[in-house]
Amino acid sequence: MSTLPSSDLELRAAEERRRLHSSIGEFKSRAREKFDMKQIARRHVLLASGIAALVSLIFGYGLTGIFIGR
């Protein structure tokens, strides 16, 4: 059994809980920053625009091919 008094153990447990809550809060804020869709879209706007243009071109070419009959 532990030789520490129960009050010391309670204080250590309370400190550990505070540290845990702090680290969880930090993790949440980092996750929000990392997965912020607006920030991701701003960083990759050229890539997203290029992909959208390519998909539109392929879709338009295929749709035109259906109506022309080639």
What pLDDT is recorded for position 55?
97
Using CA atoms, how far apart are residues 70 and 68, in angstroms rounded to an integer?
A: 6
Judge whether residue 13 has pLDDT over 90.
yes
**What average pLDDT does range 30-35 have in this prediction?**
91
What pLDDT is recorded for position 68?
87
Alpha helices in the chain (DSSP H): 6-34, 37-43, 45-68
Mean model confidence pLDDT for the chain: 90
Please say whether the beta carbons of 13 and 6 come within 8 A: no
pLDDT class of 59 with cuts at 50, 70, 90: very high
φ and ψ of 34, to 5 deg: -70, -35
**What average pLDDT does range 34-57 have in this prediction?**
92
